[in-house]
Amino acid sequence: MNALQSTSSIREWIVGIRRDFHQHPELAYGEQRTSAKIQELLSELGIPFEAGAAGGTGVVGLIGDPTGPCVALRADMDALPIVEASGASFTSVNRGVMHACGHDTHMAMLLGAARVLKENESSLSGCVKLVFQPAEEGGAGAQKMCEEGVLENPKVERMFGMHVWPLLDTGLIGLREGAFLASATFFDIFVRGVGGHAAMPNLVVDPIVAAAQIVTNLQSIVSRERDPFGSDVVSISAFNGGDTYNVIPPEVHLKGTVRSLSLEAQAANIKRIEEIATAIGTAHRCEVTVNFPGVTYPPTVNDHGALKLARSAAKQVVGADALVVVPPTMGGEDFSFYAQLVPSAFAALGIGNAEKGTTLSLHHPQFQVDEDALPIGAALHVAFALEALAELARA
Q: What per-residue confidence (pLDDT) applies to 339? A: 98
Q: Residue 257, Cβ neighbours under 10 Å: how many?
A: 16
Assess contact for 349 and 165: CB atoms under 8 A. Answer: yes
Please give the domain boundaries of the chain with CATH numbers for all domains. 3-182+299-394 (3.40.630.10), 183-291 (3.30.70.360)
Q: What is the pTM of this model?
A: 0.95
d(Cα 101, Cα 91) in Å, to the nearest integer? 14
For position 372, what pLDDT does the model report? 98
* Grouped pLDDT means (10 residues each) for the chain, 395 residues: 96 98 98 98 98 96 97 98 97 98 98 98 97 96 98 98 98 97 97 98 98 98 93 97 98 98 96 98 98 96 98 98 97 97 98 98 98 98 98 91
Rounded to an integer, what distance in angstroms lies between the CA atom of residue 241 and that of residue 211?
Answer: 9
**pLDDT at residue 1, rounded to an integer:** 78
Q: Strands 49-53 and 300-302, how do they pair?
A: unpaired
Helices (H), the chain: 3-8, 11-23, 32-45, 103-119, 141-147, 207-225, 263-283, 304-318, 336-341, 374-394
* Cα dist from 51 to 48, 61, 151, 205, whole Å: 10, 9, 15, 54
Q: What integer pLDDT is reported at residue 266 of this predicted model?
A: 97
- List strands edge to edge, sheet with 173-175: 49-53, 58-64, 127-133, 70-76, 158-169, 344-352, 173-175, 323-325
Task: Yes or no: say if 120 and 104 are a contact pair by the CB < 8 Å rule.
Answer: no
Distance of CA 395 to the CA centre of its chain: 32
In the DSSP assignment, the letter for residue 156 is P
Give the pLDDT of residue 55. Answer: 87
- Strand-by-strand arrangement of the 232-240 sheet: 232-240, 251-260, 183-192, 287-291
Region of 161 please: left (phi>0), alpha (psi -120 to 50) or beta. Answer: beta
Closest by CA to 186, choosing from 255, 263, 278, 264, is 255
| Nearest Cα residue to 209 out of 220, 225, 219, 195 | 195
Q: Return d(Cα 8, Cα 203) in angstroms, integer.
A: 72
Q: How high is the pLDDT of residue 330?
A: 96
Collect contacts of 360-366 with beta carbons under 8 A, ≥24 apart.
360/166, 361/166, 362/100, 362/101, 362/102, 362/164, 362/166, 362/331, 363/80, 363/82, 363/100, 363/101, 364/100, 365/82, 365/83, 365/84, 365/85, 365/86, 365/98, 365/100, 366/85, 366/86, 366/87
pLDDT of residue 320: 98
The number of beta carbons lying within 10 Å of the beta carbon of residue 270 is 19
Q: Residue 77: how many CA atoms within 13 Å on its side-chain side? A: 34
Whether the Cβ atoms of residue 303 and residue 347 lie closer than 8 Å to each other: no
What does the alpha-carbon distance between residue 39 and residue 49 come to, in Å, rounded to a whole number? 8
